[in-house]
Amino acid sequence: MPVTEANFVEDRSKQRAAATTTEMPTNRLCYCTYGPEVCGSANETCIKDPKAACFHSVELVHNTETKAMEKWHSYGCLPLELTMEGREASASHFQCNGWRSSHTQPKSIACCDEGNYCNKNITPPPFSNVPSTPEGGHSLESFISHMPLVLIVLVGVVGAALVLMLITCAIVSYIRYRKTGKWRFLPASRLPSKKRRSCPLIEHADNVYIFNNSNEKTKMLVDIGVEASSGSGSGVAHLVQRTVGGHLVRQEWIGKGRYGEVWKAEFHGSDVAVKVFYTTEEHSWKNEREVYQSTMLNHENILRFVAADIQGNQSITEMLLITDFHELGSLHDYLKRGEPLSSLEALQLAHSAVSGIAHLHDTLTGTGSGCKPEIAHRDIKSKNIIVKRAGVCAIADFGLAIRYYAKERRMDPANPNIQVGTKRYMAPEVLDKTLNVKDFNSFKHADIYSYALVLWELARRVDNGPLPANMSTNAPSLSNDSSIPTDPVAHSPSPTLSKRSDESSTGTARPYEPPFEGMVASDPSFEEMKQIVCEEQRRPPLEESWRSDEFKGTSLHLLADLMIECWSSKPSCRHSALKLKTTLKRMIESFPLSSITASDKWLSPAYQPPYRDVDSGIRSKTQS
């Protein structure tokens, strides 16, 4: 039978006193502790095969009484091993090398065949699967002996984590209650049905589509009546994501840009524009979605947001941004058409565009729903301005926009990159990286510079009637900023653009061209734009008719003054968006009725139908 470590020395002394060796074979005797039935004799001796070996094995066993691990030693004779053919081998090789393998129950063995009772004086190798501790014990033994303590510590850590989570949830709920005045533990879509309204597809006052049809298995958008405002425009477009995309029917591919593609689609009977972002532009999609969901962003001159979603299209993940669709497209496309603009329509477009920019730049404070942050667009250009109808446009594309929360003195994103946007429209301080990122007004000043270039694009397409006989349309740029050179050669437009090919030579409208056309390449580099704008201080050329004394006081003359003041190389000298909005409104209100053509009557304040006041926010002083 197995013996403990304490009886090991006593067992050895008894083995040495074993008698009657005269009747035993020589060099075949092994010390055996398995009892007479196994050993074959009563004196703790077994007889091995001449080719076999004696063994001494040790096993680590858990004592249930002492709660500790103990070593149990065993001695005996090993049998001969069988070969693959079933024959006996010449030794006990595999059994004697069993200590080299790991065992579930730690054990080891040593073998010998150097005379009688040789296994009394050999020591098995250390356990291969239980590392020894510095104290000479074993980690398994220590772990089992300290099991109650481990369980106590584990339960304590889990309990503390649960308590911390409950405290955090309570704090977050209390903060929401302080902001909204309502306790909210569940999203609106999971509130009891009696607290939600059922309504068909409508266009809500907050410019959000509401779907709550009991026949639909999936609710498309959450009914904002539970927690939004009373319809003052301060609500947020709520969305149950990953459901809207399945209800879109794409009809026509419109175009693609830096961030993705734009499609015309049908969404529950309404035409919408779907912007599909590339998978590499997830940050732009998230930023634009968050900007659109800003409190009180809704405005006539901000492109209306419908929803956002993520869906899988075959093996591609698509990030969707859904907005209103407008047939006329971008201002860039609108200006490239064959018909020139009238002075009044150009003023209306300029005013509605800057009205949207002014709304972005301004901060608004509401009751119960926080405040609207100041927003800098950072990519103002004619392609990012959507024409809703003649004379009315809206700002779009907020992938690069940055927000500023005045109360918290925090910008989002916190560390914006300076050189972003379209290089052709970048302000001087953006091109030379001198923009102060810690002052949010610096970003708004850069928007105004870009807007000045849009004004220049508008002014070029204005047909202001025949020119005086002594006036040429091929003229250098003029500026009241002394830092901008007035060299006729440096500022004259390209010779191929000196005269329109689609209009009479007596008109002042010119073919559309982007800013700095003929000065830089079609896709200019940062270095090329920096050389032109910062070092040479050049700006797009101004027509002589815009600055002539004979045209002083006309809309083009006043627009030219605004351009020069807004694209100044000194950001602090540029007008604010609110000042530009006020100035353009005054110009429209004072527009002479005698200058209004038949095609302008629908644009004139005197001929506006009632809804025009909502579109542009302008009413003529002469209107009754």
Give, in degrees to the nearest 5, the angle at Cα 385 between 382 and 389.
115
What tokens were used for 558? 């006043």
What tokens were used for 311? 């869906």
Question: Residue 175 carries which side chain, given as an amino acid letter?
Answer: I
Check whether 530 is labelled as a binding-site residue. Answer: no
Helix (H) or strand (E) run with residue 70 in it:
strand 68-77
Q: Check: CB of residue 218 under 8 Å from CB of residue 243.
A: yes
DSSP letters along 571-603, please? GGGSPPHHHHHHHHHHHHHT--GGG--GGGTTT
Considering only CA atoms, which of 227, 393, 364 is closest in space to residue 294? 364
Helix (H) or strand (E) run with residue 559 in it:
helix 555-566
- Catalytic residue, chosen from 206, 309, 379, 600, is 379
Considering only CA atoms, which of 397, 401, 399 is closest in space to residue 384? 397
- Tell me the CB-side half-sphere exposure of residue 194, using CA atoms within 13 A: 0
Active site residue 379: yes
| Spatial separation of the C-alpha atoms in residues 255 and 275, rounded to whole Å | 10
User: In sequence order, what are the residues at sequence separation of 6 or more whose Cβ sits closer than 8 angstroms to the Cβ of residue 35?
Assistant: 1
What tokens were used for 476? 């250098």
SS (H, E, C) 88-149: ECCCCHHHHCHHHCCCCCCEEEEEECCCCCHHHCCCCCCCCCCCECCCCCEHHHHHHHCHHH
Pairing label, strands 107-112, 270-277: unpaired
Per DSSP, the three-state class of 42 is coil
DSSP letters along 136-197, please? SSBHHHHHHHTHHHHHHHHHHHHHHHHHHHHHHHHHHHHHHHHHHSS--SS-GGGS-GGGS-
User: Bridge-partner residues for 310, per DSSP?
Assistant: 319
Per DSSP, the three-state class of 57 is strand
Q: Check: CB of residue 323 under 8 Å from CB of residue 396.
A: yes
| Spatial separation of the C-alpha atoms in residues 416 and 422, rounded to whole Å | 16
DSSP letters along 492-541, please? PPPGGGSS-SSS-TT--------TTBTTB-SS--HHHHHIIIIIS---PP
User: In sequence order, what are the residues at sequence separation of 6 or more whose Cβ sits closer than 8 angstroms to the Cβ of residue 605?
Assistant: 588, 589, 591, 618, 619, 620, 622, 623
| Spatial separation of the C-alpha atoms in residues 570 and 458, rounded to whole Å | 23
Give the distance from CA 492 to its chain's centroid: 45
212, 243, 292, 499 from 240: Cα distances, Å: 12, 7, 16, 55
What tokens were used for 203? 């266009």
Question: Residue 530 carries which side chain, given as an amino acid letter?
Answer: K
List strands edge to edge, sheet with 260-267: 248-256, 260-267, 270-277, 316-324, 305-313
Longest dimension (CA), the chain: 146
DSSP 244: S
Question: Residues comprising the binding site for ATP?
Answer: 275
Question: Residues comprising the binding site?
Answer: 275
Query: Could you give the residue numbers annotated as active site?
Result: 379
